[in-house]
Homo-oligomer: A and B are copies of this chain.
Amino acid sequence: MNYRLDIEYDGSRYEGWQRQNRTTNTIQGKIEEVLSKMCETPIEIDGAGRTDAGVHAKGQVANVHLETEKSCEEICEYLNHYLPEDIAVQCVSEAEPRFHSRLLAKEKIYQYRILTGGHKNVFERKYVYPLQETLDIKAMKKAAEKLVGTHDFKSFCSNKKMKKSTVRTIYEIKLEEENGEIRITYRGNGFLYNMVRILTGTLIEVGRGEKMAESIDGILEAKERSGAGFTVPARGLILSEVRY
């Protein structure tokens, strides 16, 4: 039976989603460990988004093939009982045999939070980037509009050895400002390695006046990482939703 898992995690303590080897501390590794114990056989799961070290998720989706007599509710309970406090499985459901969380994902939504006001946010400090600068949000919105659409995002990818296509479609970039915080929501068909964090860094540089909104076209055309902005810290980023 193929199961779909809806997963939430605080990525602060982990080296990202993807299992690398036995010694690395990853979210995928933690979940596989519990499922393998439950089924008394090695289990591998597939996640929709390979979030980096320190990145969080509210709507990560994974799928896994299991032979078990447990119900979905029982699997979910078992997982939450044995998983650490900062990883939760919100729901386990039966999926069609051919359902694949990553290959069939149509849209992914990421959100990035930037503290711009002078205040500290004690209770959400692990989920925001404390930039503490005033940014020109109008200019950032103008630049964001130029990033929306189907483009070659090679300039916004940290992986220099990337051999596959770097063309992606961004459907929407929404900027909201409230209580000394800017939230940027990205909705697209997929994102390259570090792409959301480089997009955000570039928008921040536009907001500071270091880059012009008009320069975005040229940065995309150049296909050179050096033309884009800095990579913002992982802590402000969350994978909000995966749509099929």
Contacts and interface: CB of A to CB of B under 8 A. Distances in A.
Contacts of A77: 118
A119 to B, nearest CB: 7
A178 interface: no
Interface size class of chain A, counting residues whose CB lies under 8 Å from the partner chain: 20 to 34
Contacts of A14: none
A205 interface: no
Interface of A: 8-10, 56, 58, 77, 80, 85-88, 90, 118-125, 127
Contacts of A85: 120, 122, 125
A184 to B, nearest CB: 19
Nearest to A127: B123
Contact of A122 (B87, B121, B122, B123): B87
8 contacts: A9-B122, A10-B123, A58-B123, A80-B120, A85-B120, A85-B122, A85-B125, A123-B127
Contacts of A123: 8, 10, 56, 58, 124, 127
Contact of A119 (B56, B58, B90): B90
